[in-house]
Amino acid sequence: MKNNKPKRIIGISGSPRRHGNTEILLDRALEVAKRKGAKVKKIFINELKFSPCQECKNIRKDGVCIIRDDWQILCSEIEKADGIILASPIFFGSVSAQTKMMIDRFQCLWLAKNIFKTYKTKKRKAGAFICVEASNRKDFFINAKSIVRNFFTTIDTDYRGELFCSEIDKKGTAREHPECLKKASNIGKRILSL
């Protein structure tokens, strides 16, 4: 029997800037997913209030972080999602500080899966990564991608696609790059393929 329930797709923006190039491309991908029948939600990491990983000594062994803050909201949305589109600008050769801070908080889950062996996968998800940079440094994208792939592995997400757009700096200029907009649309389609 086929499940007719719409897929839940969340878009996570790691940019500190609202309505910039990262968000423009994320919005395009989410629009396409919504048109294809998905239930979509967008989250801005910069608008959440949470601390970076504290490497707590009294860590729980079940993958749940002991620090109670807005990160728990994000974690709940990720757990319910069928697909995740993570979008970040390149800052100093990698993902933004906001994105990295969010990822680092999943250290508790990584430990539960890989050290304590107490966590069992609940649901596989599809994942895609959108990344924008002002320069044209492929090594920056490679570095950011390796972090995101590790994050996706930790949260039981299959890396299904990526969009790397270089030489885009001025706010809003992503709209002037039809090839990037087209690839963002393709991300919106592919995220539903799981």
Q: 2: which 2 tokens? A: 């086929």
Residue 122 predicted with pLDDT over 90:
no
Of 129, 166, 143, residue with least CA distance to 93: 143
Q: Where are the domains of the chain?
A: 29-46+62-134+146-190
| pLDDT at site 21 | 97
Contact between residue 8 and residue 194 where contact means Cβ atoms under 8 Å apart? no
Residue 178 predicted with pLDDT over 80:
yes
Residues present in the chain in total? 194
pLDDT tens-digit profile of 129-172? Answer: 999 999 999 999 999 999 999 999 999 999 999 999 999 989 99
3-state secondary structure of 61: coil
CATH number corresponding to 29-46+62-134+146-190:
3.40.50.360
pLDDT tens-digit profile of 89-109? Answer: 999 999 999 999 999 999 999
Residue 1 predicted with pLDDT over 70:
no
From the CB of residue 30, how many other CB atoms can be counted at a distance below 10 Å? Answer: 24
The DSSP secondary structure of 92-160, one letter per residue, reads: TTEE-HHHHHHHHTTHHHHHHHHTS--------EEEEEEEE-SS--HHHHHHHHHHHHHHHHHTTEEEE
